[in-house]
Amino acid sequence: MTVAILLENVDKTYNQVNVVDNLSFSLESGEMFGLLGPNGAGKSTTIRMLITLTKPTKGKVEVAGFDVTRNQAQVKQNIGVVLQQISVDNDLTVWENMEFHGRMHHIREPERGTLITQWLDYVQLGDRQKSLVKTLSGGMKRRLQIARALLHQPKILFLDEPTVGLDPQNRRRLWEIIKDLNGQGMTILITTHYMEEVEFLCDRIGIMDNGKLIEMGTLSQLRSKYGQGLLIKQQGDRIDSQFFPTLTEANQFLDSLGEKTGMMVRESNLEDIFVELTGKQLD
């Protein structure tokens, strides 16, 4: 498989502090990858390096086969970016937002108009072409951001908290779009605070803390490593948990206890593993 994203021994230093510390990992073309970490873990800085907004202090970063420091123009041509902040122009129409982006990427007519129509239809905004963006719902604005990011037909898509603030219906609609894009072969790197989003969407998961990559693997691999069964015990305001290799072993342990007040057993999930590794939940 072709490598879509490559980081080798990457550092990013601010004020003599490594906010990204000797980071190495790679993504294959067509992979859907979730990058997780508590606030301050270094994931946002990592994304900024990958999309050429900041340069690594040390190490090698390649996107779509191009060095992010020496070949910024080629990297930008091969990536689409949807940031957490709504970045479409509220005072322009849906079509005008797409038109402006297409011109910035030097897409000529009639191809530009054809692509705008194609991607607006894809995200179910074809009937809102003439609407001012300020009249759109939050979910529609997010879908417009995705359509705009796809207009120049990138190979790799970066999604930073793509469903934050959306209602469950719009979140699921975006999940369907993201899944479909990946099914068509697009490489996608996603950061999110919603653990179930990563569980549903991602092939592999990377967890960062204090600038380092502390774990990586599929959800199945992580659950096999840390335990598929979880015993939870509430003690006052505190909740303690204990992993077991299987759910059966967790239930057997609970059955062996005389006092079971405040205890329960369930299957472990990604959030349990995240808290075990980082000692904190995502804010």
Q: Which residue, 9, 51, 16, 21, is CA-closest to 189?
A: 51
pLDDT exceeds 90 at position 86: no
pLDDT exceeds 50 at position 283: no
Give me the phi and psi of 22, to 5 degrees please.
Answer: 55, 50
With residue 221 as reference, give the H or E element that holds it.
helix 219-226
DSSP, collapsed to helix, strand or coil, labels residue 44 as helix
Q: What is the CATH number of domain 3-217?
A: 3.40.50.300
End-to-end alpha carbon distance in the chain? 35
Query: What count of Cα atoms within 13 Å lies in the side-chain half-sphere of residue 38?
Result: 14
Q: What is the pLDDT of residue 1?
A: 67
Q: What is the pLDDT of residue 165?
A: 85
Query: Tokens in use for 188?
Result: 């996608």
Picking from 134-138, 183-187, 234-238, 265-269, which range would have the lowest pLDDT averaged per residue? 234-238
Question: What's the mean pLDDT in 254-272?
Answer: 93
pLDDT exceeds 90 at position 83: no
**pLDDT tens-digit series, residues 197-223:** 999 999 999 999 999 999 999 999 999
Residue whose tokens read 């998961």:
205
**pLDDT tens-digit series, residues 112-171:** 999 999 999 999 999 999 999 999 999 999 999 999 999 999 999 999 988 888 889 999
**Intervals of CATH 3.40.50.300 along the chain:** 3-217
| Paired strand residues for 215 | 207
Cβ neighbour number for residue 80 with a 10 Å cutoff:
24
In Å, what is the CA distance from 218 to each residue of 26, 119, 175?
A: 14, 31, 19
Q: Are 222 and 215 in contact (CB under 8 A)?
A: yes
pLDDT exceeds 80 at position 93: yes
Q: What is the pLDDT of residue 279?
A: 86
Q: What is the pLDDT of residue 280?
A: 64
pLDDT exceeds 70 at position 96: yes
Question: What's the mean pLDDT in 181-185?
Answer: 96
**Cα angle 178, 2, 102; round to 5:** 50
Q: Which residue, 212, 213, 242, is CA-closest to 226?
A: 242
**Per-residue confidence band for 67, with pLDDT thresholds at 50, 70 and 90:** very high
- 153 vs 54: CA distance, rounded Å: 23
Q: Are 72 and 119 in contact (CB under 8 A)?
A: no
Residue whose tokens read 């340069």:
55
Q: What is the pLDDT of residue 39?
A: 87
Q: What is the pLDDT of residue 195?
A: 93
